[in-house]
Amino acid sequence: MLVIVAPGQGAQSPGFLTPWLEDRTFASRFDWLSTVSGIDLAHHGTESDAETIRDTQVAQPLLVATGLVAALELFPHPADAFSKIGAVSGHSVGELAAAAGARVITAEQAMVLVRERGRAMAEASARTPTGMTAVLGGDRDEVLAALDKHGLTAANDNGPGQVVAAGTHEQLDALADDPPAKARLTRLSVAGAFHTEHMAPAVGHLAGLARSVSVHDPRTPLISNKDGQVIHDGREVLARIVGQIASPVRWDLCMETMLDLGVTGLLEMPPAGTLSGIAKRAMKGVETFALKTPDQLDDARAFVEKHGEASQIDTTPTWRMVVSPAKGTFHRAEEAADVDRLAPGAPIGDVASLRDRINVVAPHGGQVVEWLVEDGDLVSPGQPLLRLHPEGAA
- From 164, 323, 131, select the one nearest 250 (Cα to Cα): 164
Phi, psi of 154 (to 5 degrees): -80, 85
CA distances from 171 to 105, 146, 165, 229, 389 (A): 38, 11, 10, 31, 53
Positive or negative: CA dihedral 154, 222, 345, 374: negative
Collapsing DSSP to helix, strand or coil, 322 comes out as: strand
92 flagged as catalytic? yes
| Rounded Cα gap, residues 140 and 196, in angstroms | 19
CA distances from 52 to 46, 132, 255 (A): 11, 18, 31
The catalytically annotated residue of 150, 195, 198, 307 is 195
| Rounded Cα gap, residues 298 and 188, in angstroms | 34
195 flagged as catalytic? yes
The catalytically annotated residue of 92, 125, 224, 311 is 92
Q: Enumerate the active-site residues.
A: 92, 195
